[in-house]
Amino acid sequence: MVRKGFEKELRKLEDSVIEMAETAKKSIDTSVESLKKKDVKLAKETIALEKEMDKNSLDIENRCMRLTALQQPVAKDLRFIASMLKISDTLERVGDYAGKIAKITIKTKDKPLAKPLIDIPKMAELSKEMIDIDIEAIRSKKVEGIEEKLTQRDDVIDNLYEQIYKELLMMMFERPQIISDATDLIFVGRYLERIGDLACKVANRTIYMVDGRRTLIK
């Protein structure tokens, strides 16, 4: 494969990873909307997206291995391929967490929510914003300020999760009959908190891809 063809494959690889990131955002949105509306159809759509992301992650892995074996890339090209592999794997985990939220929707479809969803949708929106920041950095190859942008949002997500946890724990003490339903919402908050952490991992890998710098956002 001549250099021009190799560069074309690298661009296609990047496009596939960005497409996965967009799918990850959609899965977050549909999972939380499914819970909010008790919409089993949306929940099943989320689970379908999770399976799609599993397949896409495997495809990206195979392409990365093929490019590495055939081209024996070095320096920046090798960092790029390795980063695309790691980022796709991280995004696949976002889909897994969204799928877990969707399964809670299906499990609780005939039950009212233990409390109105106020903070959980906020966490979902912030996590999607974080993935948008990741996408822009991957596309532009510019990472200046990304650490501050993601840390600010991740701190808010962490605080919202802590607030949800404490509030639901108090409700369980006062109304033991809602323990199961309240626990489900705690899990939802935890999954979204973990998605925020995964968005930070994507940024860490993007920074390494761009300038070879090892960072630990979070």
* 196, part of any domain: yes
Give the CA distances from residue 131 to residues 37, 151, 193, in Å, rounded to whole numbers and listed in that order. Answer: 24, 13, 13
d(CA 15, CA 127): 21
The pLDDT of residue 204 is: 95
Calculate mean pLDDT across residues 125-141. 97
* 48, part of any domain: yes
pLDDT band for position 215 (cuts 50, 70, 90):
confident
Residue of 47, 10, 49, 58 whose CA lies nearest to 26: 49
Backbone angles phi, psi at 47, to 5 degrees: -65, -35
The pLDDT of residue 115 is: 87
Q: What CATH number is given to the structural domain containing 102?
A: 1.20.58.220
Calculate mean pLDDT across residues 182-204. 97
d(CA 174, CA 197): 32
d(CA 160, CA 121): 10
Which of residues 25 and 6 earns the better pLDDT score? 25
pLDDT band for position 72 (cuts 50, 70, 90):
confident
Q: pTM here?
A: 0.94
What is the C-alpha R_g of the chain? 19
Q: What 3-state DSSP class applies to 72?
A: coil
Percent of the chain with pLDDT over 90: 85
* 143, part of any domain: yes
Calculate mean pLDDT across residues 194-206. 97
* 216, part of any domain: no
pLDDT at 16 exceeding the cut of 60: yes
The pLDDT of residue 37 is: 94
Could you count the other beta carbons within 10 Å of the beta carbon of residue 130? 28
pLDDT band for position 75 (cuts 50, 70, 90):
confident
In the chain, count H helices and then E strands. 6, 0
* 218, part of any domain: no
Residue carrying the six token digits 């626990």: 183
The pLDDT of residue 196 is: 97
Residue of 57, 127, 124, 140 whose CA lies nearest to 93: 57
* 217, part of any domain: no
Residue 138 contacts residue 206 (beta carbons within 8 Å): yes
The pLDDT of residue 1 is: 53
Q: How many angstroms separate the most distant Cα atoms in the chain?
A: 69
Residue 215 contacts residue 104 (beta carbons within 8 Å): no
Calculate mean pLDDT across residues 97-118. 94
Calculate mean pLDDT across residues 94-108. 97
The pLDDT of residue 58 is: 96
Give the CA distances from residue 41 to residues 53, 114, 129, 146, in Å, rounded to whole numbers and listed in that order. Answer: 18, 21, 25, 36
Calculate mean pLDDT across residues 70-79. 85
* 90, part of any domain: yes
Residue 2 contacts residue 71 (beta carbons within 8 Å): no
- What range does the domain containing 7 cover? 3-211
Residue of 116, 118, 87 whose CA lies nearest to 24: 87
Q: What is the pLDDT of residues 17-48, one digit of tens each?
A: 999 999 999 999 999 999 999 999 999 999 99
Four-residue CA torsion sign, 55, 57, 60, 61: negative
Calculate mean pLDDT across residues 122-135. 98
Q: How many domains, the chain?
A: 1
